[in-house]
Amino acid sequence: MIFITGATGFVGSHLLKALQKEGIEARCLVRNKEKARIVESLGFEAVIGDITDRGSLRGKIRGARVVVHLVGIIQETQDITFDQVHLEGTENLIEEALSAGVREIFYQSALGADINSRHKYLQTKGHAEELVKLSGMDYWIFKPSLIIGPGDGFTENIKKVLSLGPVVTVPGTGNTKFQPLSVDDWTRAFLIALKDGDRQIKTYEFGGPEHITYNEMLRIMMKEMGINKPIVHLPIGLVKAGIPLATLLGRFTTKIPRVTSEQLDLLQIDNITDIHSMERLFGFTPEPFRAAIKKAL
């Protein structure tokens, strides 16, 4: 039996469906009864708790063979920070897993995560990786590029951007490269790694089968959605100056995607790795962005 955090999130919800097909038992940590019902409707056990609250975890991991840690945030709020979720939450989970006698842990990190990164998101993800590595448990870490599929936050935000006004605005040049990966291929890779008892590979950096720019992704999405608008590139400084206004307007409408200064900075950094990483690490060829985005849309 595996213990999962973040089971009702984007990646977690797709993983549960894959585990259901495989007949793999799982106990899922959820934060409320509504999410517990979602998990239970799929035939899995649900326990209520929060990784940022060590006390809420006590006794809930006992009996698990492996902990699968999927919880993460991409934006901080007044109530929750990267440090609380990525560092304190991971530390709480590791301590409780060790006290429960669990000897194996999986951590979902991100391509580019590094303790020396100047970006808080990537920095705290990197620190969480170090906590996992130093835990004394057998570990495996996924560091994927952008994951695409039904319900993913990236696609939903871009759909909002494409629906606003007569033009499509892009912060910066739009030439930053990504290596988008289908969530179906992520779950396939996870199941392959889960069943690998040898565990010779500890950290997996991977992405889809192509390096593709932000501009190219937008054009493909526009074509799939039947949208024909010009793309206008704006200076990053100008877009950052408009964040307070966009945040204010976002309180009154869900049509304006929330964005932070750090996310705009990350949008200017290539997020790519070996283009043949999936074949090398997992033995199969992932589907291209166009196929993945069709499912997501």
Domain count of the fold of the chain:
1
The predicted pLDDT at position 196 comes to: 82
How many angstroms separate the CA atoms of 272 and 254, rounded? 30
Q: Is residue 258 part of a domain?
A: no
Burial group, residue 242, by CB count within 10 angstroms (0-12, 13-18, 19+): middle
Q: Is residue 7 part of a domain?
A: yes
The predicted pLDDT at position 260 comes to: 86
The predicted pLDDT at position 247 comes to: 67
Q: Is residue 293 part of a domain?
A: no
Q: Quote the domain boundaries for residue 124.
A: 2-144
Are 213 and 174 in contact by the 8 Å Cβ rule? The answer is yes
Q: Is residue 60 part of a domain?
A: yes
Which residues make Cβ contacts (< 8 Å) with residue 154, sequence separation at least 6? 146, 148
Q: What is the pTM of this model?
A: 0.93
Are 107 and 87 in contact by the 8 Å Cβ rule? The answer is no
Q: Is residue 220 part of a domain?
A: no
How many angstroms separate the CA atoms of 199 and 138, rounded? 8
- Tokens coding 270: 């290539």
Low-confidence ranges of the chain (pLDDT < 70): 245-256
The predicted pLDDT at position 254 comes to: 60
The predicted pLDDT at position 242 comes to: 80
End-to-end alpha-carbon separation of the chain, Å? 33
Nearest Cα neighbor of 105 from 75, 148, 134, 73 is 134
Q: Is residue 199 part of a domain?
A: no
Q: Is residue 64 part of a domain?
A: yes
The predicted pLDDT at position 252 comes to: 58
The predicted pLDDT at position 246 comes to: 65
Q: Is residue 228 part of a domain?
A: no
- Tokens coding 225: 């959605």
The predicted pLDDT at position 11 comes to: 97
Domain of 83, CATH number, reads 3.40.50.720
Are 181 and 292 in contact by the 8 Å Cβ rule? The answer is yes
